[in-house]
Amino acid sequence: MSRAGSWVDPHSDARLVVQTWLGTRLLMGLVAAWLLFTEHRGLSDLFGNWDVAHFVAIAENGYADPQDIAFFPGWPLLLRITSMTGMSTLLVGTLLALLASGFAAAALYRIGGPPAAIAWLLAPTAVFTMVPYTESVFCAAAFWAWERATAKQWGSAAVLAAFAAAIRVSGVFLIAALVVLALTQAGTSKTRGRRLLWLALPVAVVAAYAGYLFLLTGSWRAWYDAQAAGWARGFTLPWDSLKHTFEVFAPGAYADHPEWAWVFRAEVVSMAIGLVVTGACLVRRRWAEAVWVGLQVAAFSVSYWFMSVNRAVLLWFPLWTMVGRIGESRRKMPPWRGGLVGILVAAAIVVQCVWAWLFFTGRWAS
């Protein structure tokens, strides 16, 4: 029986998760293939858009562009090492992302059962888990770190969290959530102390990068300044950030980029979802999970506008365990609920393919 407890055949459950992983990757791959042949786009035009170009540049040339220090070094370093096989950095990154998305789904299977893993694989912005972005590899490390921590295997959890912390700044929020989990998990004071001591490992990773940036730039604000200069992530009061986001989809705004309006509308929806998930975790007294999602929502709320929240939703495993409960019991599901699940799955697949089209064509995709 899976950890979720309501699906009764572990072999068929695991098979369904694998089939969903293959099916969703295939569908998004078909969108890429369609563009490849109908619009004669090259593979780099499809898979190398937006932040991928930064990751590849860092992997090949280091932090030659000062603004690139906004990206943590773990993913570019991994791309550099694996590209020594002779394959292109872009191809290696795509293969690693695909592989890591499977590991992330496996971790969610352990955390919340097959419905949680399937829900995550059907996420609207899942295209970012099959291109050389950090989402797949970070989720794989972070989800498994959480799974190991909840199983009270804090040594392995700390190693996985350290790897996640090297990949992206979200690792800081993961460390904070793990600290809360370490303090609230059952055990003696001595046991809690050992858990916290293990978490010094991921803290050291973040501190090492901050120290490197200080030596490189002479400023402890180097990472923040790069984010503000390159991606408009300077501190903004939440209500002003919301106002700026609404301005994007005002009538006539950015008429040359019509997709911006609905992508930014989705950012607002994602923020609202984050607030709901945080509140639900607090009501259920799942303090560590509330910290994990709530800190991210708070961080996104103080940028110039709500941006990249649609991608960050992929990191919120409490959300996917909650969504998964909708389809938790296959054998006793009433017809109306089965119909609802079917509609949600169909809608998710359509939106997922549309979002893949946005990214592959170089349009704004969050």
- At 326, list the tokens: 């909708």
Q: What is the pLDDT of residue 324?
A: 85
User: How far is residue 108's CA from residue 144's CA, in Å, rounded to a whole number?
Assistant: 8
The DSSP call for residue 186 is S
Residue 311 falls within a domain, yes or no? no
245 neighbors 264 (Cβ within 8 angstroms): yes
The reply to whether 305 falls in a domain is no
Q: How far apart are CA 142 and CA 168, in angstroms?
A: 11
Q: What is the pLDDT along the chain (366 residues), one digit of tens a residue?
A: 345 444 556 678 889 999 999 999 999 999 999 999 999 888 899 999 999 999 999 999 999 999 999 999 999 999 999 999 888 999 999 999 999 999 999 999 999 999 999 999 999 999 999 999 999 999 999 999 999 999 999 999 999 999 999 999 999 999 999 999 999 999 999 999 999 999 999 999 999 999 999 999 999 999 999 998 888 888 899 999 999 999 988 777 787 788 888 999 999 999 999 999 999 999 999 999 999 999 999 999 999 999 999 999 999 999 999 998 876 655 566 776 667 778 888 899 999 999 999 999 999 998
Neighbours of 204 (CB within 10 A): 12
* Residue 329 confidence (pLDDT): 56
Quote the pLDDT of residue 344.
83
Structure token pair of residue 330: 């296959």
For residues 32 and 87, give the distance between their C-alpha atoms in angstroms, rounded to a whole number: 20
HSE value, Cβ hemisphere, 13 Å, CA-based, for 187: 17
Instruction: Summarize pLDDT for 24-83 with one digit per residue, the tens.
Output: 999 999 999 999 999 988 889 999 999 999 999 999 999 999 999 999 999 999 999 999
Asked whether 149 and 181 are in contact (CB, 8 A), the reply is yes
Instruction: Residue 133: give the domain boundaries.
Output: 10-232+316-360
Phi, psi angle pair for 215, to nearest 5° = -65, -35
Tell me if residue 360 falls in helix, strand or coil.
helix
The reported pLDDT for the residue numbered 333 is 65
265 belongs to a structural domain: no
Residue 280 falls within a domain, yes or no? no
Is 269 part of any domain?
no
Quick: pLDDT tens for 162-188.
Answer: 999 999 999 999 999 999 999 999 999
Number of domains in the chain: 1
In a domain, 16, yes or no: yes
Does 106 fall in a domain?
A: yes
What is the model's pLDDT at position 256? 79
Burial bucket for residue 26 (CB in 10 Å: 0-12, 13-18, 19+): exposed
Three-state secondary-structure class, residue 199 = coil
Question: Cβ(296)–Cβ(173) under 8 Å?
Answer: yes
CA 181 and chain centroid, separation: 20
- Based on C-alpha coordinates, what's the Rg of the chain? 20
The pLDDT assigned to 234 comes to 86
CA distances from 184 to 47, 110, 158, 180, 271 (A): 42, 21, 17, 6, 27
Residue 328 lies in a domain: yes
Q: Give the DSSP H/E element, type plus range, for residue 177.
A: helix 170-184
Please give the pLDDT value at position 283: 97
